[in-house]
Amino acid sequence: MCAWLIAIALVQSNASADPLANLHVPPGFKIALYATNVPGARQIAVAPQGLVFVGSSRGKVYALVDHGVHKAEEIVVISDELTLPTGVALHTGNLFVGDVSRVLRFDNIAAHYRERPVSHIVYDQLPTDTHHGLKYLGFGPDGKLYVPVGAPCNVCVKPLPYSALLRLNPDGSDLEVVARGIRNSEGFAWHPVTSELWFTDNGRDWLGDDRPACELNRVTVVGQHFGFPYVHGGDVLDPEFGAGHTTQEFTPPVVKLGPHVAPLGMMFYTGQQFPAEYRNNLFIAEHGSWNRTEKVGYRIVRVALDKNGVAIKHEPFITGWLRDGKVSGRPVDVAPLPDGSVLISDDDAGALYRLSYPDHP
């Protein structure tokens, strides 16, 4: 059984009839349901005109249509013939979908999403392993498509392209490794000022409740090695594979996010709706633990950075999906809408939420 299926099986979900019932947001913010009936909702991609696309772990890709009420009034299935089409990204009007071993493209998607559009293969030579095989896509400032390949295990030594972040041209050519030593990244974004690539990484399991930490990382040089499987969380040598290595050999995380919190999608907030103190802050979806004695994660966290990329604040931002040890949802991704509000996907509740700051002038 692959890792995400194990997690689904072992997390005891108590999804409420009202997914908002237990959620807490900072003063001045409002969270509302944007969509329900989106089973397995994972990565979000938003077109400039506000049309929302969602990948899922249930074999479908969705288009969500809001006719001006800040809520998806239509949910359209674009495709239901894929395996695990969790990754979605938009580029020059085309929708790119990551489906474990391949990347597909749906052309001129805004004009054709109601027609069950035909997909075109961009690249189909990625590993077929479903363990840590879920994809998260993004186009960088360089115009290239970035796609991760996780380790097909809890911890093991495998050749590239495993445990790496890759990039390729939009036509599928010139595949190259951007960063390696990454166990399982399903979230990355580019800093709006420096254009540096930041990404989350899930720490290994079965070293106890309190280690190692999951990671927030920054790529400063192409080809950097972030430690897996030799070092975890920047400071834990692997008991099997760490012999002969030191922690100093590898690039440490910028922020240790905590053990087993399972950080996934992330974004830098560049909108104008939230107060100025949130500008260029990172927001990270923590999917939550599945094998810890006391559950952790199940929240959105905020990381504020100084001009040098040093974290000066790391704190919970939206909480309540975990209450008294019971789970009512598992956030996966965060993405901005054109009006400056933010969407959050929840694959456990099959829902999307809209976070806004309604009193902003």
Domain 3-356 falls under CATH 2.120.10.30: yes
Walk across the sheet containing 120-123 and list its strands: 87-91, 94-99, 102-106, 120-123
Contact 142, 165 (CB under 8 A): no
Amino acid at 263: P
Which stretches of the chain are DSSP H helices? 3-10, 109-112
Q: DSSP letters of 124-149? A: --S----TT-----EE-TTS-EEEEE
In this prediction, residue 317 carries a pLDDT of: 98
- 120 Cβ partners below 8 Å, 6+ apart? 104, 105, 106, 107
Question: What does pTM read for this prediction?
Answer: 0.94
Contact 266, 303 (CB under 8 A): no
pLDDT tens string 250-268: 999 999 999 999 999 999 9
> Alpha carbon of 343 to those of 36, 321, 351: distances in Å?
13, 16, 10
Is the torsion defined by CA of 215, 59, 330, 313 positive or negative? positive
pLDDT tens string 313-342: 999 999 999 999 999 999 999 999 999 999
In this prediction, residue 360 carries a pLDDT of: 67
In this prediction, residue 308 carries a pLDDT of: 85
Strands (E), 128-276: 138-139, 145-149, 164-168, 176-180, 188-190, 197-201, 213-219, 224-225, 231-232, 236-237, 255-259, 263-268
Domain range annotation of the chain: 3-356
Angstrom distance (rounded) from CA 104 to CA 85 = 9
In this prediction, residue 359 carries a pLDDT of: 82
In this prediction, residue 4 carries a pLDDT of: 46
In this prediction, residue 11 carries a pLDDT of: 52
Angstrom distance (rounded) from CA 68 to CA 273 = 17
Element (H, E) at 318: strand 311-318
In this prediction, residue 6 carries a pLDDT of: 43
Residues of the chain with pLDDT under 50: 1-10, 12, 15-16
